[in-house]
Chains A and B, each alone.
Chain A
Amino acid sequence: QQQVKQSPQSLIVQKGGISIINCAYENTAFDYFPWYQQFPGKGPALLIAIRPDVSEKKEGRFTISFNKSAKQFSLHIMDSQPGDSATYFCAAPDSGGSNYKLTFGKGTLLTVNP
């Protein structure tokens, strides 16, 4: 059974600042680590994902950093904007070879002040 621990629970950042959210997982035999963004009253939307054979992936202002030896991965949001205010979830697959059975962290509520 996969365990995913996400921190912090909430985060307040000023516009233009860097938001950093961290996740730690337990089981190692998986190949897919996504981050989801969820606005109030909406479903989670895939933001960015990484394979464990790379240490970093960047898409626009969003970067995932992956540390396989430490079993940790983090989301960095550069130049944070008020529109980024949402809840962010990290996730890890529960079974190797299939990414449908995701174990989610408990989420980080990000507030970006103007």
Chain B
Amino acid sequence: NAGVMQNPRHLVRRRGQEARLRCSPMKGHSHVYWYRQLPEEGLKFMVYLQKENIIDESGMPKERFSAEFPKEGPSILRIQQVVRGDSAAYFCASSPSRTGFGNTIYFGEGSWLTVV
């Protein structure tokens, strides 16, 4: 049962380093979404990608954050020059198509980033 696969599950970075989080969508899914969960908060949408395209990045911070979903390979969320406020759980989700009711998004188990 290959769900949404994320790695690494846990990542520790020093301030100023780069963090790279990877996500492989569920088999047959071509739409990928990244969400961020800060401590004691609900999840917040960051970006929506299809293969080789960013569809909606309205939730991405303007600086230091970028995302891609190449033709081959996993989607990658990249955070440059990390700061302590970037410490959070980052969840990837996928869906087989642009969602409508009954065609929901499925989340991975998350990547926990700790910035020290």
Contacts and interface: CB of A to CB of B under 8 A. Distances in A.
Nearest to B48: A100
- Which size bracket describes the interface of B in this complex? 20 to 34
A104 B101 contact: no
Interface string A24-52: 00000001101010000111111001010
- Which size bracket describes the interface of A in this complex? 20 to 34
B107 to A, nearest CB: 4
A102 B45 contact: yes
A41 B109 CA distance: 7
B42 A98 contact: no
* Best-surrounded residue of B4, B44, B105 (most CB of chain A within 10 A): B105
B40 A104 contact: no
Name B's interface SS: loop
A54 B67 CA distance: 38
A102 B101 contact: no
B31 A89 contact: no
25 contacts: A4-B42, A31-B101, A32-B101, A32-B104, A34-B104, A36-B107, A41-B109, A42-B109, A43-B91, A43-B109, A44-B91, A45-B107, A46-B104, A98-B98, A98-B100, A99-B99, A99-B103, A99-B105, A100-B31, A100-B45, A100-B48, A101-B56, A101-B59, A104-B44, A106-B41
Interface of A: 4, 6, 31-32, 34, 36, 41-46, 49, 51, 89, 91, 94, 97-107
Given A89-B43, A104-B42, A107-B41, 16 more contacts: A43-B91, A43-B107, A49-B102, A51-B101, A97-B100, A98-B98, A99-B99, A99-B104, A100-B31, A100-B48, A101-B45, A101-B56, A103-B45, A104-B43, A104-B44, A106-B41
